[in-house]
Structure formats: structure tokens, C-alpha cells
Amino acid sequence: MGYFREATGIRGPSGFGSASTAEQVTEGIDASGLTVIITGGSSGIGAETARVMALRGAHVIIGARNTETANSVKQSILQSTPSARIDIIPLELSSQKSVRDFADKFLSMNVPLNVLINNAGVMYCPFKLSEDGIEMQFATNHVGHFLLTNLLLPKIKSTADKTGIEGRVVNLSSAAHLTTYRGGIRFNKISDKAAYNDKLAYGQSKLANILHANELARRLKEEGANVTANSVHPGLIKTNLGRHSTIFVAVLRATTCVLWKSIPQGAATTCYVALHPSMKGISGKYFADCNIEQTTANGRNESLARKLWEYSETLFKRTQGQVKL
């Protein structure tokens, strides 16, 4: 049903579909009391998500590698929404030090945190290790967001406790999680150059985003926290994310042209899951076109999710106690 709905724009049970835009799915929602962090909010669907969140009144914190570009986004938003509240904090997700610095700077602002949108990502990169010695796609798309989420989770939970407003964590995944290595996550070869395939490594990192959200949702429910965690597939979007594999992306566009979305449509599912009242209490699910969709068997594998969580903790240089729930 997912691809048919995406191609035709038919609305699903939520009342929205692939043709819905971020503004449409948040129409009438007042987010003026919320603080939202968006990673990678300086371009593409991250910038559109930031714009719509600000339009609905939220205090938006953009985590961006390129702060100059992020500031241009901020100024553009302010032109259309002069009352927008936007702050920018430098963030390089492939660097654990940068992630910790971002968390420290945000926490020093002494503001609440209602929604964390783990949006940033890289795709189809040539093999490269991060400064922490981890393959770049896995380091950026999963490890950086895993660390950031755990560092900020106490603030999200305390905000939810104080305000009574449900906290939400949204991981941007992708339908690319269907194409990963055998077994889903190759724990013993994450950073093995000889076994590296850029497409499968990307799929592996996107599967990790789903598994992270699922395991986080399980732990939060077990704890009784008023916080949800979900993952989303934004769709095939016309952005610069595929710059490392232009020929492959060109062929993909030619063969799947009816499935491609505009940036406002691509940001819709993120904004829906982050803000819509009908999402209250829904956790550990995977969304596409603003509706619940089923992942692969790997994406529903609870033991794989637990193993990924435990493995991810071993990748941090500092004591694990600082990032555990």
C-alpha cells in the first residue's frame, strides 16, 4: 500500500498522504509553548521543518555544521515570520566532541525541550572514517544522533514532567533501510573499508535509525516516561543529499519519477509526527506519508535493536554512565 499511496497521493487513515505539505499537516496547531531541536536544519527538509515549526510558534534550535548557511535560513524565516524564535548552535554529528559541545551549549541556555528531530544525514559517501574512527555514514546518521538523544533525554523527560506536555523524539530514517547488509547491521565490520558498499552502508545507517527509535520507545514505556519515539521515511526528495552519487540518483529519479516529492511535501511526515495531536501516546512506530507503515523484518527485530543499543554505547570515549537511560 505504501508505494501505491505515495505514487497516487491517496490519503491514508491520518487524513494525509504523499501530496500533503508540512504546512497542511500542522494547520491550526499552536506550538508557541514548545522548544524544538532540529539537526541539519540549514538545508532541504530540515530547513523547511524549521520554517514550519517557527511558523506555528515553536522556539526552534537549529543544529548545523554550516552555521553561515543556517543563519541564512534563519534570516529567510524571519522575513516571512518576524516573530520567529530561532537559535543556531554548531553541530558536526560525526564528531562525538561536537555532539557533546552542542548538548552542553543547549543545556546552558536553560530552556525546556519538548521535541528532538534527528533530521541530519549523509548519503552514499565514499568510504571515510570519522575523527572517532567510525565509518562516516554510520557515525553521522546513527551514532551522533544516538549520543545526542541520550545526552538530551533527561531534559526532554523533565520538561514533560513539569509541563504535562508529551515529549517527542523523531528519527528520520528512509525506505533505503530495505537495502542493507545481510543480517541488517554488521557489527564486526562497521568500519571495514574492504567490505564497504556505499549504498548498503547507507541502508544500514537508516535501519539503525529505526531500531534506535524502537528500542528507545520500549525503554521509555518501561520507565513510564511521558515521551514518545518514532521514525519516519520522508520520501524521495529533490535535495542535494545525493551529491555523492549523482549518476545513481539520476537513474533513480528517471525510474521512480512518480514517487518524488517537493521539499514541503518531504517535511510533512516529520512535522506531523512531531506536532500533530493525533500522535499523542503513539511510540515505536515507523511512518511514511504521515501514516504508519511496516518496516522490514530487520526493522521489527527487538533483539537486533537491543544489540545495536548496547553496541552503540561501546563507541563512546567517555564513561557510558553519561549517556545511559
**CATH number for the domain formed by residue range(s) 2-313:** 3.40.50.720
pLDDT class for 260, splitting at 50, 70, 90? low
pLDDT at 91 over 90: yes
Contacts for 70-73 with beta carbons within 8 Å, 24 or more apart?
A: 70/41, 70/42, 72/42, 73/41, 73/42, 73/43, 73/47
* pLDDT, tens digit, 9 for 90 and up, residues 18-31: 999 999 999 999 99
Cell of 80: 516571512
62-87 in b/e form (b: 16+ CB < 10 A) is bbbbebebbeebbeebeeebeebbbb
pLDDT at 307 over 70: yes
Q: What is the pLDDT of residue 7?
A: 52
Q: What is the pLDDT of residue 319?
A: 38
Lowest mean pLDDT among 112-121, 150-159, 314-323: 314-323
Q: Give yes or no: 196 in active site.
A: yes
* Cβ(176)–Cβ(202) below 8 Å: yes
* pLDDT, tens digit, 9 for 90 and up, residues 114-123: 999 999 999 9
pLDDT at 278 over 70: yes
pLDDT class for 2, splitting at 50, 70, 90? low
Catalytic site residue from 3, 181, 196, 311: 196
Report the pLDDT averaged over residues 64-69: 96
Q: What is the DSSP letter of 76?
A: H
Q: What is the pLDDT of residue 98?
A: 98
Partner residues linked to 170 by β-bridges:
117, 230
Q: What is the pLDDT of residue 11?
A: 84
Sheet hosting strand 115-118, strand order edge to edge: 85-90, 59-64, 35-39, 115-118, 167-172, 227-233, 286-288, 291-293
* pLDDT, tens digit, 9 for 90 and up, residues 188-204: 999 999 999 999 999 99
Domain ranges in the chain?
2-313
Supply the angle between the helices 144-163 and 198-223 in degrees, to the nearest 10. 30
